[in-house]
Amino acid sequence: GIQVEQSPPDLILQEGANSTLRCNFSDSVNNLQWFHQNPWGQLINLFYIPSGTKQNGRLSATTVATERYSLLYISSSQTTDSGVYFCAVTNDYKLSFGAGTTVTVRA
Amino acid sequence: DAGVIQSPRHEVTEMGQEVTLRCKPISGHNSLFWYRQTMMRGLELLIYFNNNVPIDDSGMPEDRFSAKMPNASFSTLKIQPSEPRDSAVYFCASIQGFEQFFGPGTRLTVL
């Protein structure tokens, strides 16, 4: 399967700070998704972004498919942003997940 | 739409008992996935259905696990007999185009 590396593994932020999470993958993909797993364990879809740039409120994402990486930007972080952020990719149907970035936002 | 629905949300059972997890995909989605999440192994794909037909069950850990999709709106994952190492969160997901949508998961604890 496709190898997915996420960095950093852990991130501690003060409320209001901005941050960038990175996802590198080892092969061309037709699907890349970012998920937020909240403290209750639910996997929330953030972005479907195999290429290009998208924005949704304080979150935005950019995927450079030719260079095999994606970035997730969190601006003006809030405590509700805490949780684990996963990047997942595939070139067929089988999503390969990264190990995640654990984000802790402190008030 | 209510999203992907899973039941039960929590299940505690004793070793040797049969466990059945249920999933209702999003209406109109023709593919369904069962995943398992553990601290040690992260998220693993167990089985993938397309148009109610199992396409890839290579992730099913052993014969104790079985999955069915009798129609487009319902799937089950059964473990018989259950073992403590089966304790995990089991997610169901359905797909529209290429984007997968996950249910809330079932947290299974086998004592």
Q: What is the pLDDT of residues A32-82, one digit of tens each?
A: 999 999 988 999 999 999 999 999 999 999 999 999 999 999 999 999 999
Please tell me the predicted confidence (pLDDT) of residue A93.
84
Mutate to test the interface with A, among B30, B92, B102 (most CBs of A within 10 A): B102
**Cβ proximity of B19 and B11 under 8 Å:** yes
Query: A31 to each of A52, B89, B99, how far by Cα in Å?
Result: 12, 24, 7
Give the gap in angstroms from C-alpha A76 to the nearest C-alpha of chain B.
26
Query: B69 to each of B17, B18, B56, B66, B75, how far by Cα in Å?
Result: 22, 18, 13, 11, 4
Which one is predicted more confidently, B66 or B97?
A: B66
All residues of chain B having their beta carbon less than 8 Å from the beta carbon of residue A45 are: 99-102
Q: Kindly report, residue by residue over B77-108, the tens digit of the pLDDT.
A: 999 999 999 999 999 999 988 889 999 999 99
Please tell me the predicted confidence (pLDDT) of residue A1.
83
- The Cα–Cα gap between A86 and A94 comes to 15
Give the gap in angstroms from C-alpha B83 to the nearest C-alpha of chain A.
22
Q: Kindly report, residue by residue over B2-48, the tens digit of the pLDDT.
A: 899 999 999 999 999 999 999 999 999 989 999 999 999 999 999 99
Residues contacting A54, CB < 8 A, separation 6+: A47, A60, A61
Q: Kindly report, residue by residue over B29-39, the tens digit of the pLDDT.
A: 989 999 999 99
- The Cα–Cα gap between A69 and A2 comes to 13
Mutate to test the interface with A, among B51, B99, B106 (most CBs of A within 10 A): B99
Cβ atoms < 10 Å from Cβ of B19: 21
Please tell me the predicted confidence (pLDDT) of residue B1.
64
Stated length of chain A: 107
Chain B residues at the A interface, defined by Cβ less than 8 Å, are 31, 33, 42-43, 45, 48, 50, 55-56, 89, 91, 95, 98-102, 104-105, 107
